[in-house]
Amino acid sequence: MPLKNASARAQAQAPAPTTPRAQADPVGRANAAPAEGGVGATPEGGAPGEVWTHRHLLGLGSLTAAELRALLETARSFADVSTRSIKKVPALRGKVVANLFFEDSTRTRISFTLAAQRLSADVVDLTGAGSSVSKGETIDDTAANIEAMGVDAVVVRHKSSGAAALVARAVRCAVINAGDGKHEHPTQGLLDIYTLAQAHGRLDTFDLSGLTVAIVGDVVSSRVARSGIAGMTALGARVVCVGPPTLAPRSLEALGRGGPGSCVVESDFMAVLPTVDAVNMLRIQFERHTGVESAGMAVKSSPAFPSLREYSQMYALTVERAARMKDGAIVMHPGPINRGVELAGEVADGARSVILKQVTNGLAVRMAALYMCVGRA
Amino acid sequence: MPSLLITGGRVIDPASGLDKPADIAIADGIVVAIGPNLDRGHADRVIDAEGCIVTPGLIDPHVHLREPGREEAETIATGTAAAVMGGFTTVCCMPNTTPAIDDDSVVEFIFRQTELAGKCRVVPVGAVSKGRKGEELAEIGLMARAGAVGFSDDGDCVASAGLMLRALQYIKPTGLALMQHCQEMTLTRGAAMHAGTVSTRLGLGGWPRVAEEVVIERDVRLNRGVGCAYHVQHLSSGGSVEIVRRARAEKQPVTAEASPHHLLLTHDEVERHGGYWTGAKMNPPLRERDDIDAVLKGIADGTITVLATDHAPHTAESKALDFESAPFGIVGLETALALYIQALIESGATDWMRMIAMMTVEPARLCGFDRAKAGPGAGLGRLFVGGPGDATVIDPELRWTIEPAEFAGKCRNTPFAGRGVKGRAVATVVAGEVMFEMARV
């Protein structure tokens, strides 16, 4: 996928680089000057670096459009590292990244681990089971202890909304939110935006004006949706939330950041489909539905709708429904997919599907997040 | 005989309508004289109340003293020290202790610990149901006989309509009130804050207004043929004010209480201090500006008659948990008076006479103190010759900053730290003894 030259508008906002390559400071500079303390220097001509001033990445809802673009532009510059035969740059050499996962996750943890390793950071894992987490230690105590061992960044996942903010208050090192309860999952939101921009030729500006994205299913329980709505509407897209009213309530419209109408809730999936440039199909998060009393993952019922059978008939993206979509409209899914429930297998594997591209882009986005929060400290 | 004279203050006694400069003499724990220029020669101790308002000892009908069971957060000794610092001479402690106050032996334990602490009066509110489980009636008759002043499963709602009806019927002949924590649990599962734009943005479970309103509406209906005194605790929603107003207009025996935080703060507080601030997590939750306005209006028009604190101490450790795991509640005894002055008098919602009534004679009426000939509450909430020697001396002009480190209670969990306020209890007198006095310039 060829990178396009930055548009006049992007240049007006962020002067200096004439091509993305020149802008690709972390990569380019890392090759030229393998950094000691050098990683802390002002990136050469780095517009993203001038915009970004945060120590943490806790959510997209608090970021400006310029800050979102800075992250995405940095991700774009990292994207081709994964395609080289030597998949490593020394941007975070000597830094330590700790994965602090209080909630189970394999793919997100591996994605963050690979991202850190491609930046030459050392990575340690602390997962919920078998660690102090299961011995009753509080989150902030655990994080402070990890930090005391000389960690530069903690990547946090937790079942409670606000857990990453709590950790950020307890430590001085960088904190990256890898999902907190029903609140935000900012790197997933960014990779969804990146993938959307990629599919619709917006990688030069990350201006999403004119694009409509449907987020379908269990929106109310979804941190992916909250990050996606915040980020996409800030960059100009219109988001339509679709689902049964118990999972896609009207109150979600308040999350749109592009003014009234930038986030709307609809219940007629069939009517929405022909109007969108992308659908993001969400998994039903039974484990987050209150009223479901079970420690296991086997629960497949929820007080929010009568049956999975009815849900699938109303809101699954089937082959027939996917056929109603516009040419060029894409199908996204944050994974893991429940094939045959929210998404037909044929659609997941079909021509519209960008699900594996999302996974690939996730690496670049997470490299960018780590680099912006840690590499420039 | 030990005697005390409070001189030179403006005495406000809402029960008698008195509002004029007067001295008050107390001997052997009993008020012996109220009038101008009382003889100070015989007094063992004199409090100069020049420039101050002198009121009957303030009564807080809703506190959590955590003893027995959660002594790391508060004890009756520390909670009553907090009370007298805030100007309260009587507090009603809620039964959500471990074990619950659900029989006469625990009621007697409360009285014994209160006597040992020797600070202010504590009168227990007994549980409606055994173990506060909402299944079977607790020993309401024995608790009433032992000195309980009302019944509540506070912390939990009496959820079952069947149990509620039986409780109203059973409590009626005691003359005491059923104090309801109004929360329909099936509407608040997983809830951590008010259901609104902030909860949507933060991904936190919402506690909607209607969960409070449907319980009040149901209870008022259940009580229609019964006529038990029914009291709505810590009312938070504008819709609830409307339901109570209608019930009172129909002459139903319904009362309601407000709490300071629901008059001064909104759900926006949760986003302060870096967000997900557990200092603003309480039950019922902080709501919106419209609710504040409706509750203020309810106070102004007499729909809401009682002011409480809902003093709910929690340790710093428990409040340091993530927002969803942290407990609900804030402390209030040390700060409520100044916050009520700010919310009600400085805003013009009501005047001193009415506000003091809502903190003295109104809660006294709720707890049956006005009808009691003897017992722990008899005569409280009023100033009269022959009555209990409880008084609060308030400096209405004293400006101060709320500083939790200075609190007398064990916990510091308040969203009001650093807030500038005006007006403070400078002396608190319980049965003729000065239990708290502030050095004044």
- Where in chain B are the domains? 4-53+387-437, 58-366
- What per-residue confidence (pLDDT) applies to A299? 59
| Residues B204, A251: C-beta atoms closer than 8 Å | no
Mean of the per-residue pLDDT values of chain A: 86
- What per-residue confidence (pLDDT) applies to B439? 79
- What per-residue confidence (pLDDT) applies to A87? 85
**CA-based nearest residue in chain A for residue B275:** A165
* Rounded percentage of chain B residues whose pLDDT exceeds 90: 96
Using the predicted structure, report yes or no on whether residue A8 has a pLDDT greater than 80: no
Burial of A271 (0-12, 13-18, 19+ CB in 10 A): exposed
A195 within 8 A of A332, measured Cβ to Cβ: yes
| Residues A162, B325: C-beta atoms closer than 8 Å | no
Using the predicted structure, report yes or no on whether residue A20 has a pLDDT greater than 50: no
CB-defined contacts A:B, below 8 A: 63
Which of B185, B193, B204, B322 is most worth mutating to test chain A (most A CB atoms within 10 A of its CB)?
B322
| Residues A163, B321: C-beta atoms closer than 8 Å | no
Q: Does B201 touch chain A (CB under 8 A)?
A: yes
| CB < 8 Å from A in window 271-290 of B | 274-276
C-alpha to C-alpha distance for A256 and A230, rounded to whole angstroms: 6
Q: Which of A213, A220, A195 is nearest to A263 (CA)?
A: A213
Using the predicted structure, report yes or no on whether residue A111 has a pLDDT greater than 50: yes
Q: Stretch A80-106: mean pLDDT, rounded?
A: 90
Q: Stretch B155-172: mean pLDDT, rounded?
A: 97
Q: Supply the DSSP string of A30-66, one letter for each residue.
A: HHHS--SGGGGSPPTT-HHHHH---S-B--STT--HH
- What per-residue confidence (pLDDT) applies to A1? 40
Q: Sort out which chain A residues have CB atoms less than 8 A from B317's CB and list them.
A: 138
**Helical ranges in B35-160 per DSSP H:** 76-85, 104-117, 140-146
Using the predicted structure, report yes or no on whether residue A127 has a pLDDT greater than 90: no
C-alpha to C-alpha distance for A274 and A286, rounded to whole angstroms: 29
Give how far B387 is from chain A: nearest CA, Å. 52
- What per-residue confidence (pLDDT) applies to A3? 41
**CA-based nearest residue in chain A for residue B203:** A183
- What per-residue confidence (pLDDT) applies to A26? 56
* Rounded percentage of chain A residues whose pLDDT exceeds 70: 81
Q: Stretch A37-42: mean pLDDT, rounded?
A: 35
ipTM of the complex: 0.83
Q: Which of A262, A264, A263, A266 is nearest to A314 (CA)?
A: A266
| CA torsion, ordered A35, A40, A41, A43, to nearest 10 deg | 90
Q: Stretch A75-92: mean pLDDT, rounded?
A: 90
Phi, psi of B3 (to 5 degrees): -135, 155
Using the predicted structure, report yes or no on whether residue B247 has a pLDDT greater than 70: yes
Q: Stretch B341-352: mean pLDDT, rounded?
A: 97
Per-residue buried b or exposed e for B39-53, using 16+ beta carbons within 10 Å of the residue's own CB: eeeebeeebebeebb
| Residues B203, A181: C-beta atoms closer than 8 Å | yes
**CA-based nearest residue in chain B for residue A291:** B189
Give how far B188 is from chain A: nearest CA, Å. 9
Q: Stretch A107-132: mean pLDDT, rounded?
A: 88
- What per-residue confidence (pLDDT) applies to A138? 81
Q: Does B203 touch chain A (CB under 8 A)?
A: yes
| Residues B274, A138: C-beta atoms closer than 8 Å | no
What the block records as the tokens of A301 is 């019922």
- What per-residue confidence (pLDDT) applies to B1? 57
Q: Sort out which chain B residues have CB atoms less than 8 A from A140's CB and list them.
A: 320
- What per-residue confidence (pLDDT) applies to A13? 41
Q: Stretch A33-50: mean pLDDT, rounded?
A: 45
Q: Stretch A101-112: mean pLDDT, rounded?
A: 91
C-alpha to C-alpha distance for A325 and A331, rounded to whole angstroms: 10
| Residues B204, A166: C-beta atoms closer than 8 Å | no
C-alpha to C-alpha distance for A114 and A124, rounded to whole angstroms: 12
| Residues B322, A254: C-beta atoms closer than 8 Å | no
How many other CB atoms are there within 10 angstroms of residue B401's CB atom? 11
Least confident window among A296-305, A366-375, B65-74, B199-208? A296-305
pTM value is 0.88
**Helical ranges in chain A per DSSP H:** 8-13, 20-23, 25-32, 47-51, 65-78, 107-118, 139-148, 163-170, 186-199, 223-234, 269-272, 308-315, 319-322, 345-348, 355-370
Q: Sort out which chain B residues have CB atoms less than 8 A from A61's CB and list them.
A: 201
Identity of residue A173: C
C-alpha to C-alpha distance for A41 and A47, rounded to whole angstroms: 14
Q: Quick check: do B4-53+387-437 and B58-366 share a fold?
A: no
| Residues B203, A252: C-beta atoms closer than 8 Å | no
Indicate the SS3 state at residue A48.
Answer: helix
* Rounded percentage of chain B residues whose pLDDT exceeds 70: 99
- What per-residue confidence (pLDDT) applies to A375? 84
Q: How confident is the model at residue A142 (pLDDT cuts 50, 70, 90)?
A: confident
Least confident window among A57-66, A302-311, B125-134? A302-311
Q: Does B187 touch chain A (CB under 8 A)?
A: no
**CA-based nearest residue in chain B for residue A167:** B322
Residue B143, CA distances (Å) to A27, B174, B181 in order: 76, 10, 20
Q: Stretch B394-423: mean pLDDT, rounded?
A: 98
Give how far A350 is from chain B: nearest CA, Å. 33
Q: Which of B154, B291, B310, B390 is catalytic?
A: B310
C-alpha to C-alpha distance for A154 and A101, rounded to whole angstroms: 10
- What per-residue confidence (pLDDT) applies to A4? 43
Q: Is B310 labeled as catalytic in the residue annotation?
A: yes
Instruction: Let me know how long chain B is.
Output: 441
| Residues A255, B190: C-beta atoms closer than 8 Å | no
Mean of the per-residue pLDDT values of chain B: 96
| Residues A290, B317: C-beta atoms closer than 8 Å | no
Q: Stretch B377-400: mean pLDDT, rounded?
A: 97
A61 within 8 A of A55, measured Cβ to Cβ: no
The top-level CATH class assigned to B58-366 is alpha beta
Using the predicted structure, report yes or no on whether residue A21 has a pLDDT greater than 80: no
- What per-residue confidence (pLDDT) applies to A6? 39
- What per-residue confidence (pLDDT) applies to A109? 95
Q: Does B185 touch chain A (CB under 8 A)?
A: no
Q: Which of A290, A255, A109, A185 is nearest to B324 (CA)?
A: A290
pLDDT higher at A288 or A157: A157
- What per-residue confidence (pLDDT) applies to A133? 61
Q: How confident is the model at residue A136 (pLDDT cuts 50, 70, 90)?
A: low
Q: Assign domain B4-53+387-437 to its CATH architecture.
A: Roll (2.30)
Using the predicted structure, report yes or no on whether residue B2 has a pLDDT greater than 90: no
Q: Sort out which chain A residues have CB atoms less than 8 A from B202's CB and list them.
A: 161-162, 183
Q: Stretch B249-258: mean pLDDT, rounded?
A: 98
Q: Stretch A73-95: mean pLDDT, rounded?
A: 91
